[in-house]
Amino acid sequence: MVASSLLSGASQGGVAVLLLTHRARIWELVALVALNGTSSAFFFPASQGVIPQIVAEDARQQANAILRLSFNVTLIGGASVGGFLVAAVGPGWAIAFDAATFALGSVFIAALRLPPGRIEAASFVDDLREGWREFRGRTWLWVIVLQFSLVNAAASGSFNVLGPAVAQRHLGGAGPWGVILAAQNVGLVVGGLVALRWRPPRMLLVATLAVLMIGPELVALGIPLPVAAIAGVALLNGVGIETFGVLWDTTMQQEIPTGKLSRVSSYDALGSLVLLPIGQATSGPVADAVGTRATLFGAAVLVVAATLPVLGVRDVRTLRRR
pLDDT digits (tens, 9 = 90+) for 13-44: 999 999 999 988 999 999 999 999 899 888 98
Q: Is the peptide bond before 200 cis (omega within 30 degrees of 0)?
A: no
Architecture of the domain spanning 130-318 = Up-down Bundle (1.20)
What CA–CA distance (Å, rounded) separates 185 from 180?
9
pLDDT per position as a tens digit, 50-74:
899 889 888 999 999 999 999 888 8
Proportion of the chain above pLDDT 90, given as a percent: 72
Residue 121 has pLDDT above 70, yes or no: no
Whole-number Cα distances in Å, 259 to 139, 144, 256: 20, 22, 8
For residue 117, the model assigns a pLDDT of 64
CATH 1.20.1250.20 boundaries in the chain? 130-318
> Can you give the pLDDT at residue 322?
85
pLDDT (0 to 100) of residue 120: 63
Using the Cα atoms of residue 120, residue 122, residue 128 and residue 129 in order, give the sign of their dihedral.
negative
Burial 47-57 (b: 16+ CB within 10 A, else e): ebbbbbeebee
